[in-house]
Structure 1
């Protein structure tokens, strides 16, 4: 096989763990519901999905597992820049799409006029920082989120940091080193949970470093699961594991116990679910729904929040009753899933395929 063929093979995507992909979609839908619900019901203890933000920790754990699976055996055959290009092709189009949607909803929100406050120059700066994933907690009206136009982008910032560290250091770290890093990450995460009373930070200027603690533990824990071959064979399937995943988010929210409960979920339960998901058997009848769930997970995660900002100003201005909010939230979640699918099919996938073809030609 010639060198050109070898380089082209490096760009091919390895076979997916279909159930893990599907679980990512379940977690993404939970995130969307949580973001609406935390506005409708500000007291998390009365919110049925009060721990919904822990879906991000599940994403990080999945990412560590999948990155190690996809690249451990071939990253030494590519340059660091090739690896970064592949990750940019996979992640960056939706970062930009989410930023554009965030800008449009910022400019045309029917219930507020923040543009009148920030003007062209500041708005342009906020948009550029969002596109290039540069934290910029400039808007007090939006709780000093790191990315005011598309709040969930904070986790993509830390995802990129984890990917860069993987390409530079972690891919060649021994299993013993990964164990040590996982242990250190767990200690830091427990400290953050105790200090902040929960594991919800990382999204704003006031809790920036909490995001680093969250990605440190969960990403290396996912790597450890893969490298240790902790894959538990089972017949739970996509539906069974979806129910187990939902238990983590539906656990009652109690302020006095969150600093204990949430680290247990993140440190022990999520890696266990990844092990079970990697070893479970997918029923043929669930193939389509699992595939669709996995495909829309990232587009849904990166495109929903601009519309949550409009929902926030709607609630503040109109003050609708909870009964009406239940209807609005249900319709919004379904609509955003459809929108995510359309963006994936007609924008994200074509862009990524075009960029991959350009990369293939380059190598």
Structure 2
């Protein structure tokens, strides 16, 4: 997940609507995570396909990385590229790990932490800090990262960045298209054999995450390299509605097909639309803000979800009380993400950029 400010040669372009769509996707993930606790039957969850927001993130990431670095990798060098990516991504991996640890140890509605030895908790925490998959927490469905579940997609984001630096950035569009075709076949195969595209977050579904990012990252990269930017006047609101429709589409007997088609065609199309639409200065500022909050929100919200889940299973709130709890919780999580952004993430990244980077790099 990247804030979309790029520098190519001496010009800078800002795709404000894509920033805004990232924010919509992040907020949708948060709401989806609340709803999947309340509705264990996904077919009754109004935002039951919210998990597809991750595939949108992956597609957008391919576009972002291609636009930001395709013309600069040779001059920048692999070392500087990785330093820039670690500075952009990893501070919030660390913050999310600390929040995950605190909410695990001090959850007022669960005593699960007492069943873990100090050594096991330390290993869980270190693996979370270093993004080393460690799916051993049975009480947390064997998440790859039990202390901060969303880190699974950051693990695959790093893999995609590594592949880009060593392989993708060197390939012509012809060979990249060949890989894209392979990735498409893999995506459809995984969706068909598993019946869904929700995998990747647990030990049992580990490689499904690879299939999801392999396709979507390459799709986003090809959107950029093929100049598939569709000029339009839809603006942010219509673009946001079009994105949100993917998350609230109903489940059917062949949902694996509809999910795959959304990832295969619809998300690259939305990226092309978002990159090609323009908005007023006021909307640009709004999109910029929610785009900046999106990554902190994504990486800091899940500890609270475990607490909510334990509270919900204990007290079973219903009706207006439940609606109020969820609404207030979502607003508080957005506020926490904003505070983390301005007090921790942005100052730390500025410090690391000054200390670590040898060449001028973009705020990615």
Q: Does 1:295 align with 2:259?
A: no
Q: CA deviation at 1:288?
A: 2.0
Q: 1:113 to 1:170 in 2, by over 3 A?
A: same
Listed one character per residue, the Cα deviations across residues 61-115 of structure 1 (whole Å, up to 9, x for unaligned) are: 0000000000000011122111111000000000000000000001100011222
2:99 corresponds in structure 1 to 101
Shift of 1:10: 9.3
CA distance in 1, matches of 2:15, 2:64: 8
Q: After superposition, give the CA deviation of every residue in 1:200-221 in whole Å (9 maximum; x if it has no partner).
A: 0000001000000000000000
- Are residue 268 (structure 1) and residue 231 (structure 2) matched? no
With normalisation by structure 2, the TM-score equals 0.94
Q: 8 Å contact 1:41–1:47 — kept in the other structure?
A: yes
Note if 1:53 corresponds to 2:48: no
Query: Quick check: 128-137 or 186-195, which moved more?
Result: 186-195
User: What is the CA–CA distance in structure 1 between the aligned matches of 2:11 and 2:82, rounded to whole Å?
Assistant: 15
Find the aligned partners of 1:26 and 1:165 in 2 and give their Cα distance. 28
* Partner of residue 317 from structure 2, selected from 310, 320, 330: 320
After superposing on structure 2, the runs of 4+ consecutive aligned residues of structure 1 that deviate more than 6 Å are 9-13
**Structure 2 residue 265 is the aligned partner of structure 1 residue 250:** no
Structure in which a larger fraction of residues adopt helix: 1
Match of 2:108 in 1: 110
Whether 1:84 and 2:113 are equivalent positions in the alignment is: no
2:80 touches 2:357 (CA, 8 Å); kept in 1? no
Following superposition, the deviation at residue 38 of structure 1 comes to 0.2
Q: 1:241–1:273: 8 Å Cα contact kept in structure 2?
A: yes
How far apart, in 2, do the equivalents of 1:244 and 1:359 lie? 40
- Tell me the residue number matched to 1:63: 61
Q: In the alignment, which residue of structure 1 is the partner of 2:334?
A: 337
Q: CA RMSD in A?
A: 1.6
CA contact (8 A) 2:84 2:357 kept: no
User: What does residue 4 of structure 1 align with?
Assistant: none
Q: Do the aligned partners of 1:40 and 1:325 also contact (CA within 8 Å) in 2?
A: no
- Aligned counterparts of 2:174 and 2:237: Cα–Cα separation in 1: 34
Q: Is the 8 A contact 2:80 2:359 kept in 1?
A: no
What is aligned with 1:119? Answer: 117
Alignment partner of 1:17 is 2:19: no
Match of 2:158 in 1: 160
**Structure 2 CA distance for partners of 1:307 and 1:11, relative to 1, 3 Å:** farther
Residue of 213, 216, 219 corresponding to 2:217: 219
Residue range with higher mean Cα deviation, 72-81 or 163-172: 72-81
Q: Which residue of 1 aligns with 2:31?
A: 33
Aligned counterparts of 1:11 and 1:148: Cα–Cα separation in 2: 42
CA shift, 1:186, in A, is 1.1
Partner of 2:182: 184
Q: How does 1:128-207 map to 2 (within 5 A)?
A: 128-207=126-205
Distance 2:122 2:262 in 1: 40
Return the alpha-carbon distance in structure 2 between the equivalents of residues 332 and 344 of structure 1: 18
Matched residues in 2 for 1:139 and 1:11: separation? 48
Counterpart Cα distance in 2 of 1:16 and 1:166? 22
- The answer on whether the counterparts of 1:40 and 1:322 sit within 8 Å (CA) in structure 2 is no
Q: How far apart, in 1, do the equivalents of 2:202 and 2:323 lie? A: 27
State the distance in 1 between where 2:9 and 2:225 align.
Answer: 22
Find the aligned partners of 2:141 and 2:149 in 1 and give their Cα distance: 10
Looking at structure 2, the residues matched to 167 and 265 of structure 1 have their Cα atoms a distance apart, in angstroms, of: 28
The secondary structure found in structure 1 opposite 2:117 is helix
> What is the match of residue 3 of structure 2?
none
SS at match of 1:205: coil
- What corresponds to 1:305 in structure 2? 302
Deviations 1:194-246 (A, max 9, x none): 11111000000010000000000000000000000000000011111001001
Counterpart residue number, 1:3: none
1:102-134 deviations in whole A, cap 9, x for unaligned?
000011000112221012110010000000000
Distance 1:304 1:144, change over 3 A: same
Q: 1:232 aligns to what SS in structure 2?
A: coil
Q: Which residue of 2 aligns with 1:237?
A: 235
